[in-house]
Amino acid sequence: MNNPLNIDLKLKKRNTSNQPNQKKQKLTKDERKGNRRQRQENRISELRKQGVFNRVDWITLVIFGVLLLCSLFVLSSASSKVIEEQPDYYINKQALFMVLGIVLMAVVALIDYRRYREYASKGYIAIIILLVLVLIFGTGDGAKRWLFGFQPSELAKLVMIVVFASWLTNRRERLKEPKVVWQSMLFMAVPMALVFLEPDLGTSLVFLVIMLSMLFVAGANRKVFYGFCLFLLAAIVLIYVSLYIYTDGFTKLLEEDIPFLPLRSYQLMRLAIFINPGMDPQNSGFHIIQSMIAIGSGGLLGKGYGNGTQVQSGFLPEHHTDFIFSVAGEEFGFLFCAFVLVLYLVFLIRLMRTAFIARDLFGSLIVTGICSMIIFQVLVNAGMTMGIMPVTGVPLPFFSYGVTSLWVNMMSVGLVFSISLRGKKQK
């Protein structure tokens, strides 16, 4: 029976000697090092012959470098008073994480992305196991999201992009069949549901956007695709109509769960606060109110580095993680925020170009998933700090403090570069 992902799992036969009694000569430590060095040199030489290094997109790298420098600049101010005795604690750690992340990005870029397809089924199983372990042994403040010091849900986003790209590529000739599209959605719904149960609404929404964007580009049956989108729209309308009724027109607090909705009361309150932050200004609405005050008070040019009253006085919670964009707005103003958003836009446009020059559908789908993931996170994070999107706890890529999120995003960029380096030659 064929593997569901059509991955060749046949074991390679070992080369056996004609003289079974002959013992293999044991290599010394120096000889093993020399062999590894020779293999690395051979790989680099092969890449040079293929002209891979001549295809490096230096413009995109420079834009990405400027984006990283801007993130460190904002974080250095945002985190300076989180730990009074160690004002440089978070910025030093983030800078170290960033350097290691660049190394990870380079390693991922040098490896041929098509090799990851061989491990797609194993990756899917591993992620499911990790997410189940989080539900059992995970830790966190009000939600089980951490396991052994990292967030498996963050890693799951990148792994599932590769796995789902492999799944869709293997079924590209059958994606016009409604049954295959529903099977594909169910395949992606398993890790999405496990993340939702942590509970982590924001990350589960990221999974949903990744799934929809990749299905669309893969050419899934349009009737099924648009039908599912209409179902999601109807679900959103149902949630807000229910909230309107249960909160008496968004004026009263929601004290208990709504029986027929899968969301918990605090998650529903976040969605209600998006409509009227003033209904609970000291609790659920506190974050968004303080964030809007911070951004609004920054004006065109901002109050200056380290002079943000909302940030430095501690009125704005989570200002070095989820609400770091508010710091940029208060201390550096509208023009700086616009500059950062333009950087994101140009950077993502250049990444998306890779989808058109990729050698195969597998590569195009990976780029689609990664770009949709970053775009959605930027829009939701920046939007929630300005009060135009609900607060869902989605971090701002490359800006928010956090090693897991940073490394996953940087490996994602490295994977796009791997596809670009091995893409079709542009005319």
> Tell me: the pLDDT tens digits for 92-137?
999 999 999 999 999 999 999 999 999 999 999 999 999 999 999 8
- DSSP letter (8 states) at residue 142: S
Strand partners, 147: 150
Nearest CA-CA partner of 190 in 132, 103, 141: 132
Q: What is the band of 149 on the pLDDT scale with cuts at 50, 70, 90?
A: confident
Residue 416 CA to residue 396 CA, distance in Å, equals 19
Yes or no: say if 292 and 387 are a contact pair by the CB < 8 Å rule: yes
49-58, 160-169, 223-232, 356-365 — which is least confidently predicted?
Answer: 49-58
Yes or no: say if 217 and 369 are a contact pair by the CB < 8 Å rule: no
Does residue 259 have a cis bond before it (omega within 30 degrees)?
A: no
Highest mean predicted confidence (pLDDT) among 29-38, 51-60, 129-138, 248-257: 129-138
Per-residue model confidence (pLDDT) at position 49: 58
Per-residue model confidence (pLDDT) at position 211: 97
Nearest CA-CA partner of 297 in 285, 313, 320, 318: 313
For residue 372 the two structure tokens come to 């949709």
Yes or no: say if 348 and 375 are a contact pair by the CB < 8 Å rule: yes
Yes or no: say if 167 and 5 are a contact pair by the CB < 8 Å rule: yes
The pTM (predicted TM-score) of the whole model is: 0.86
Q: Which amino acid is at 255?
A: E
Residue 347 CA to residue 137 CA, distance in Å, equals 38
Q: Which amino acid is at 344?
A: Y
Per-residue model confidence (pLDDT) at position 255: 81
Write the CB contacts of 144 (distance below 8 Å, at least 6 apart in sequence).
Answer: 134, 135, 138, 198
Give the mean model confidence (pLDDT) for residues 217-239.
96
Per-residue model confidence (pLDDT) at position 29: 66
